[in-house]
């Protein structure tokens, strides 16, 4: 299988960590995509031009990250990082949605600086997005995710969101959030896949 991603993509990292912990990484070749390049075949593989996308052996392409991790979990036998039982399943999927939302809001702030000249940037829009990040982090600080021998997709996505904030915004998210800070250290210590996929 081929994974189209980039070294900095938090959504791509989510898929990579999922593949690592499920023991599937050796079946995946990562081919770097440049979403800004109109010639990059990613726009044919995924009409949205977004990464990650996973190309299966029969040529089928899966996107987005939520669909890909669902597929990987299925391939690994099911119920591994996306629990089968109702309460755990929907708790972890909701946690994934929260952390995905933090990543989306962080990315939109980065894109505002990437796509707009400084005098055209909209502070109200940036504030609207950073509010989502702040509230998401505060909710996570209040209820840090449970860590088990096999991490859930919720916990994996939270770790990727925090790693992306580290990469693009520095360590300020840690201020006033001691539990979440310790949680990320614990996650990194438990799962070598986190260090193996550090964004750059």
Ligand X SMILES: N[C@@H](CCC(=O)N[C@@H](CS)C(=O)NCC(=O)O)C(=O)O
Q: Give the interface with ligand X as residue ranges (CB under 6 A).
A: 9-11, 35, 49-52, 64-66, 100, 107
3-state helix vs strand vs coil in the chain, percent to 5: 60, 5, 30
In whole angstroms, the minimum distance from the beta carbon of 85 to ligand X comes to: 24
In whole angstroms, the minimum distance from the beta carbon of 52 to ligand X comes to: 6
In whole angstroms, the minimum distance from the beta carbon of 127 to ligand X comes to: 21
Which residue number places its CB atom closest to ligand X?
64
- In this complex, which beta carbon is closest to ligand X, that of residue 49 or of residue 79? 49
- In this complex, which beta carbon is closest to ligand X, that of residue 52 or of residue 154? 52
Distances (CA, A) of 46 to 3, 62, 152: 12, 8, 26
Contact (Cβ atoms closer than 8 angstroms) between residue 3 and residue 31? yes
- In this complex, which beta carbon is closest to ligand X, that of residue 35 or of residue 130? 35
For residue 142, give both structure tokens: 């209040």
- Other CB atoms within a 10 A radius of the CB of residue 17 amount to 28
In whole angstroms, the minimum distance from the beta carbon of 164 to ligand X comes to: 8
- In this complex, which beta carbon is closest to ligand X, that of residue 11 or of residue 183? 11
- Other CB atoms within a 10 A radius of the CB of residue 119 amount to 5
Q: CA torsion sign, 14 to 17 to 23 to 28?
A: positive
In whole angstroms, the minimum distance from the beta carbon of 181 to ligand X comes to: 23
What's the rounded Cα separation, in Å, for the pair 144 and 18? 19
- In this complex, which beta carbon is closest to ligand X, that of residue 64 or of residue 91? 64
């Amino acid at each position: 299988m081929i994974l189209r991603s980039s070294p900095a993509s938090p959504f791509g990292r989510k898929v990579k960590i999922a593949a690592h912990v499920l023991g599937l990484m050796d079946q995946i070749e990562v081919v770097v995509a440049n979403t800004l390049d109109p010639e990059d075949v990613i726009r044919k593989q995924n009409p949205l031009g977004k990464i990650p996308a996973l190309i299966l052996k029969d040529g089928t392409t899966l996107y987005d990250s939520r669909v890909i991790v669902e597929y990987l979990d299925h391939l690994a036998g099911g119920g591994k990082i996306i629990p089968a039982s109702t309460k755990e399943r929907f708790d972890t999927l909701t946690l994934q949605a929260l952390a995905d939302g933090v990543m989306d809001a962080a990315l939109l702030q980065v894109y505002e600086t990437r796509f707009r000249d400084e005098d055209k940037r909209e502070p109200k829009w940036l504030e609207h997005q950073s509010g989502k990040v702040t509230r998401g982090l505060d909710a996570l600080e209040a209820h840090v995710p449970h860590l088990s021998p096999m991490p859930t997709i919720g916990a994996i996505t939270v770790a990727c969101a925090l790693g992306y904030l580290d990469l693009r915004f520095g360590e300020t998210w840690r201020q006033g959030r001691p539990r979440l800070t310790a949680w990320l250290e614990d996650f990194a210590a438990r799962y070598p896949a986190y260090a193996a996929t550090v964004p750059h």
